[in-house]
Homo-oligomer: A and B are copies of this chain.
């Protein structure tokens, strides 16, 4: 019970924290080992190399397939309710993986390629799901005659921008994330009224 984390896990978590903050090139193996409370040589005995350590981190804490599941199981086909659920889930997922996303975005000269691939799958998938959702509504005449793809992109990118912005600066004025999600969904719902 007390032995919560193995040495390998401690190293992975320390690596995620440090690399997300300082970038891949800017973080040394010595730093990672020290933050994990082990010696540097132990890091290499476990993972062999710095790159392999990061790959192990991405494999362990990968994005979930939550969005796909949400679209197939939990939608009500009331636009406002659905967009609210989608927006909240989106931010929940992104927040949980914030550090890994940041690592992939910052890059690095020897940053393993697996990392970049991992990070690029999410938005592509979400855009497809959203576009199909709006298309289905459109066919049934539930919403105004808009372009489903553009609407999907607008919604997705609005939330991506909100997320990225939070990454950089926590000076979000006085608007909390959840009120932003609610009100921005209202705005989209207004625009989609037939």
- The interface of chain A, by Cβ under 8 A from chain B, is 22-23, 25-27, 105-110, 120, 123-124, 127, 144, 146-147, 149-151, 153-154, 156-162, 164-165, 168-169, 171, 173, 175, 179-180, 183-184, 186-188, 190-191
Residues of B with C-beta under 8 A to A183: 146-147, 150, 154
Say how far A87's CB is from chain B's closest CB, in angstroms.
11
Please report the C-alpha to C-alpha distance between residue A179 and residue B25 in the assembled complex, in whole angstroms.
Answer: 38
Asked if A22 and B109 make an inter-chain contact with CB atoms under 8 angstroms apart, the answer reads yes
Please report the C-alpha to C-alpha distance between residue A115 and residue B99 in the assembled complex, in whole angstroms.
Answer: 22
Please report the C-alpha to C-alpha distance between residue A154 and residue B168 in the assembled complex, in whole angstroms.
Answer: 17
Asked if B153 and A180 make an inter-chain contact with CB atoms under 8 angstroms apart, the answer reads yes
Question: How many copies of this chain sit in the oligomeric assembly?
Answer: 2
Q: A173-B149, A187-B151 in contact; A23/B108 too (CB < 8 A)?
A: yes
Tell me which of B109, B127, B150, B161 contacts A164 (CB under 8 A): B161
Asked if B149 and A175 make an inter-chain contact with CB atoms under 8 angstroms apart, the answer reads yes
Asked if A161 and B169 make an inter-chain contact with CB atoms under 8 angstroms apart, the answer reads no
Given known contacts A120-B168, A149-B173, what 18 new A-B pairs fall within 8 Å (CB)? A23-B106, A23-B109, A26-B110, A105-B168, A106-B106, A120-B169, A146-B186, A150-B175, A150-B184, A151-B187, A154-B184, A154-B187, A157-B157, A157-B160, A157-B162, A158-B161, A161-B162, A188-B191
Say how far A39's CB is from chain B's closest CB, in angstroms.
22
Please report the C-alpha to C-alpha distance between residue A157 and residue B184 in the assembled complex, in whole angstroms.
Answer: 11
Tell me which of B110, B159, B179, B187 contacts A191 (CB under 8 A): B187
